[in-house]
Amino acid sequence: MGILLHRTLCSIRRAASDPFRIASVALYDFSSAARRMSQSTSIPKKLQRVRDHGYDDYMEVEKKVRKVLMFYSLILSQRNQTLPISRLDTLARRIGFKNDQACALLLKFPHVFEIFEHPVQRVLYCRLTRKAILQIDQEKQALLAQVFPDAVTRLRKLLMLSSSRRLRLEHVRIARAAFGLPDDFEYSVVLKYPQFFRLIDSEETRNKYIEIVDRDPNLAVCAIEKVREREYRKKGIDAEDVRFSFLINFPPGFKIGKYYRIAVWKWQRTPYWSPYEDVSGYDLRSLEAQKRMEKRAVATIHELLSITVEQKITLERIAHFRLAMNLPKKLKDFLLQHQGIFYISTRGNHGKLHTVFLREAYKKGDLIEPNNLYLARRKLHELLLLSPRKARVDRELVSYRRDRGHDDIELIRREYVSDGRENGGDYDYEEKGPDDSDSEFSHTLDFSNEDHVSEGRLNKTDGAHVAD
């Protein structure tokens, strides 16, 4: 600042003969200084990113889920929801898989994909397992069950975060899975609830926009404000420092120096405008206003992550809403300044995908407050993490059950013939009661619940194995 003042005084001396030049030079130098200072915050910009393996391991499983979901759509689009192995590589290349990568994926996840031989054509086919189909149905039911009011409320809050109270339909469609919106949300959500949303066509850009009808003040409450309210109730008067603060939890191994700690303490006490507040009437040219706007951008991203289903969203999805929500241009560098609030994971898609997590919402790789849609999606993760050995044991137990059933049927048939029923004789119910006969016969022929029987026997086998 002293060097800048010295340069300004030198310019004033050189332009002493021209009073109009004096005013213009001084105004330019001080305005440029304010502009440079307003772009910086009290927290240092250039911070080294520290990895948190808990979130990176979560994304490693998520990478497998994305590949499996590609095969989901590929198999479900085929006739009878089956796909011949001979066409597998050809169709897999269209969705980005390399040679033999598709077959390796089928063999790697036997709990999701099943390879069988066609009974007539004698050709190998692949299809989804019964557990995978049940998972798809549960996720669809959970998605439809939370459309109203959960998904509708998320979309309303998302539109209220925009400065113009509207967003492009295409941008919302790209990020629909993160906010729990169905694929046909344009009809099932936007047009179905005209009291909340309005679909308009822009004549200038020729794009469709979703606009909110009325701004509900009850929804203009940020998630961080509810956290502060709980802190106020716990601490009382001692909670004065948390009036404008955020929950900060730095990743393991993050170095916190003395001056950085002081800078974070000052930043926590800096007031800011709410993301739902209209700031068009404020004078944003002052240094104090720039600091408030920078902290408001942190609150906007925090609220954007809070209204998602899994408290995470890709950085590329946030970039679609950058102009509408007045976010900084360099989003990645901006988020790295606040590693105690957000975490950016580069795992998945060879480092080309950046996923932003809300750190306070997760603990040991799981969501602290899960919802039904999140739990339904996590069941697919559980299927992928099951060992292939367990799948082989399941098939062996099912085949053993079927073989044993056929032997018992032959045994009953021989007893049936020996008792003389084919010669018109009557069956003696006194030697063998009818309840025992019916229960044994039903126990032998009931194959409708084979999976439950297999799982029960599998648990016993696993327990014996652990005991050994």
* DSSP code at position 147: I
Q: How many residues does the chain have?
A: 468
Task: Identify whether the C-beta of residue 411 lies closer than 8 Å to the C-beta of residue 177.
Answer: no
Q: How far is the C-alpha of 205 from the C-alpha of 202, rounded, in Å? A: 6
What tokens were used for 339? 């590693």
**DSSP element (H, E) containing 342:** strand 342-345
Going by DSSP bridges, is the β-strand pair 208-212/197-201 parallel, antiparallel, or unpaired?
Answer: antiparallel
| Least confident residue range of 40-44, 294-298, 307-311 | 40-44
**So what's the pLDDT on residue 352?**
77
Amino acid at 92: A
CB atoms within 10 A of CB 383: 19
Residue of 206 and 407 predicted with greater confidence: 206
Containing 168, the helix (H) or strand (E) segment is strand 166-168
**Cα maximum dimension of the chain:** 133
Q: What is the pLDDT of residues 273-287, one digit of tens each?
A: 999 999 988 989 999
Q: For position 5, what pLDDT does the model report?
A: 47
List of residues 6+ apart from 104 with CB closer than 8 A: none
Q: Degrees (nearest 5) of the Cα angle 163, 214, 331? A: 25
Tell me how far the alpha carbon of residue 236 is from its chain's centroid.
35
74 φ, ψ to 5°? -70, -45
Instruction: Report residue 215 as tokens.
Output: 């701004």
Which tens digits make up the pLDDT trace of 104-145?
888 899 999 999 999 898 999 999 999 999 999 999 999 999
The runs of H, that is alpha helices, within 77-129 are 88-94, 101-108
Lowest-confidence region among 52-56, 200-204, 213-217, 404-408: 404-408
Give pLDDT, residue 330.
Answer: 92
- Give residue 214's pLDDT: 92
* 52-61, 96-105, 161-170, 207-216: range with lowest mean pLDDT: 96-105
Higher pLDDT, 72 or 440: 72
* DSSP-derived pairing of the beta strands 166-168 and 208-212: antiparallel
Q: What is the pLDDT, as a whole number, of residue 73?
A: 87
What confidence category does residue 29 fall into, taking pLDDT thresholds of 50, 70 and 90? very low
User: What ranges in 15-151 are assigned the alpha helix state H?
Assistant: 19-38, 53-76, 88-94, 101-108, 130-145
Distances (CA, A) of 281 to 150, 212, 277: 32, 21, 11
Cβ–Cβ < 8 Å for 109, 72:
no
- Evaluate if residue 301 carries a pLDDT over 50: yes
With bands split at pLDDT 50, 70 and 90, how would you rate the model's confidence at 30? very low
The confidence band for 11, taking pLDDT boundaries of 50, 70 and 90, is low
Phi, psi of 60 (to 5 degrees): -65, -40
Sign of CA dihedral 354, 355, 356, 362: negative
DSSP single-letter state for residue 152:
H
Q: Are 163 and 280 in contact (CB under 8 A)?
A: yes
Stretch among 54-63, 141-150, 198-207, 228-237 having the lowest mean pLDDT? 228-237
The pLDDT assigned to 115 comes to 92
CA angle 113, 116, 120 (to 5 degrees): 145
Dihedrals φ, ψ of 195, to 5°?
A: -75, -15
Radius of gyration (C-alpha) of the chain in whole angstroms: 32
Nearest Cα to 405, choosing from 437, 446, 435? 446
pLDDT of residue 156 exceeding 70, the answer is yes
pLDDT digits (tens, 9 = 90+) for 358-414: 999 999 889 999 999 999 999 988 888 887 766 655 555 455 444 544 454 444 344
Q: Does position 34 have pLDDT exceeding 90, yes or no?
A: no
Closest CA to 314 of 140, 160, 221, 175: 175
Identify the pLDDT of residue 435. Answer: 41
For residue 230, give the 3-state DSSP assignment: helix
d(CA 409, CA 412): 5
Closest CA to 311 of 342, 340, 337: 342
Provide the sign of the torsion angle of the four alpha carbons 304, 275, 248, 47, taken in this order.
Answer: positive
> Which pLDDT score is estimated for 10?
54
**Pairwise CA distance, residues 205 & 168, whole Å:** 11
Measured between alpha carbons, how far is 267 from 245 in angstroms, rounded to an integer? Answer: 8
Q: So what's the pLDDT on residue 436? A: 43
pTM of the model: 0.75
Strand partners, 199: 210
Higher-confidence residue: 15 or 137? 137
Q: Which of 345, 270, 272 has its CA nearest to residue 310?
A: 345
CA 119 from chain centre, in angstroms, equals 41
